[in-house]
Structure 1
Amino acid sequence: MRTAPPATRTRKVLWTLLALVVALLLLVAGGIAWLVASVGNDVPRIPDAFKGLENTERPASFGGTTFLLVGTDSRSAEPTTGAAASADPGSQRSDVIMLGTLAPDGASASVVSIPRDSWVEIPGHGPNKINAAYAFGGAPLLIGTVEQLTGVRVDHFGVVDFAGFTSLVDSVGGIDVTVARATSNDGVEFTEGTNHLDGAEALAYVRQRYDLPNGDLDRAARQQNAMKALLEKVQATASTDPASLYAFATSVGDAVSIDDSLSNTGLVQLALANRNLRGSDVTFVTAPVAGLGREGAQSVVYLDEARGRSLWDAVRNGSVRQFADLNPAQTLSGTPS
């Protein structure tokens, strides 16, 4: 893989490495409570993420812990998440939407991508692309929209930005991803096979949608693939280089913002409950799609309601791995486009 001369780029907020970064990725340290608590002190909290959401109208809890993970398409020249945040993240549309769920027994987890162009009902606003919910009403409206769509209760909310994503990848010395065929994006060329990516190159990888057979759907698969690669790299670092692991952990506070209901005590409890979780225990899938189309001037994604119900049932009962086995088209492959 080689990098072409740099081009001018808009400073876009991109991908979510979430509260799940603080949960899943720090859990590989083996449940080191002091590390989680220390890092938790540095992670900025988002106030009122669940404001106006009535418990009696929300889905029931099923015993697991679910994070709504978003990256946003920021119009701000400054970071919108992490310690240097300077903009209201709800003023942008969510570029990436994922549900990350930790099973009640701590033995498995799942990450489900919801295509940002999914045509859904947004409470109080009617049908629209799901990523518009964040622009219309910030975290509370996006959470309400996702809960209405899935029937899955959201316990926590997290966001990561452009600078945050690149710094997380760089903090572990880059990631390795496998590419199905040669492509290029933002001045970075990806060769067929294994590519080692630094933070800026990884950003170009997960941002690409043009020159991919299925556009945004393939981009969602790339985002999952990068998350999986980062999980694997952090796990390797945990067992061989504790100093580098700590460097990664401390970079989380500069990259991620999470809702203010997730206390340091809550982070420690998650770490202890999921201390044996590994990357191989995480199943990555995409919400089933019925087809692509247009609504007025907009290109949209129509979700498959029947298969979607099966997926959301699987999230609630901890059987996403079984759903993935029966629906390989929705499952992250080893070599996404």
Structure 2
Amino acid sequence: RAKEKLVMTGLDRYLDKKLERFAEVLRVEGQIPFTILGSADSYLDWMLMSLSGKYTISQIQREEGADTGNLIVKELSVSDLVGGEMERQAEKKLTKDALLSLDTVRVYDQEFAADLRAAFEYRYPHEADIRLHTKLTVSELKKQGQFADEEESEFLPTIPSFLKEDGKEEHPGGAFRGTAYHRALELLDFGKVRTRKDLQNALEGFRRDQRMDEESLSLLSEETLMGFLDSSLGKRLAAADVSGRLKKEQQFVVGIPARDMDAGDSDELILIQGIMDAYMEEEEGLVLVDYKTDHIRPGEEKVLVDRYQMQMNYYERALEQMTGKKIKEKIIYSMALEKEITLG
């Protein structure tokens, strides 16, 4: 819909006669009778009818147009339109001929030529920054290949492989299982869960309070969780939890120069957003911890190191910026191996 102005055009061979016919249209209670409206040959006729009695024919035919307040009417003859177009076409032809006949070797205006050359040779000094992503999540970095990562996979088969029907699982795959373990470890109070019964009570509480659904809880192994809690890392986290030195699910946004990310030759900052599983404060510095549920076998620890080293480096950089404290240790805990792996 028009917001400020609506321009309508109409063509009528007998405009003069229609203007005379509609000049004194009779109105009944301010409205044009249907018998007159029904005699219209076009929408233009209705427009002309609506203007009846507001001005004379001579006013419409004035070059500047007749202004009725809401509507400006201007009559243009075909001869005027054709004549004007012929003048424009002739001017364009002359201009085209003049341009085609120019001596391109000769410089007609030295100053203009210099400005033109400078314009064409100009190179934007920050070209490398144009295609930079201003903000990335850790997941997006994975997709862009900044650090290799496969979906954290199912590491404990729900049923033996020889009983699987057509290779299908009865439960969702690894991405769901990994999410279930991360959620459980986020909710568990490490300082209070010391026995298998404590763990069972905690998981039942998650179900009762609807903090985890039945499907997610069914993907968890109590044996695996107890293995983590009884490990040396689990005991360190429990001690830190009791003394208030443990932080879980720490969100962060950190600015890293594009050059440091091999994203371009630029010092412009790229914001990286993510969530750290946990970190704790000890005497000599902070310990960064990340849980992984990737399906790997004993002896394949290097796979996790190669896969997550860069991710943990970003986490380390973010944590040091947020806290102003040094990271003394970066640890990955493999649920599949029930083993902690220290990164460099």
Larger Rg: 2
> Could you say which structure has the higher strand fraction?
1
Shorter chain as denominator, the TM-score bin is under 0.3
TM-score normalised over the length of structure 1: 0.25
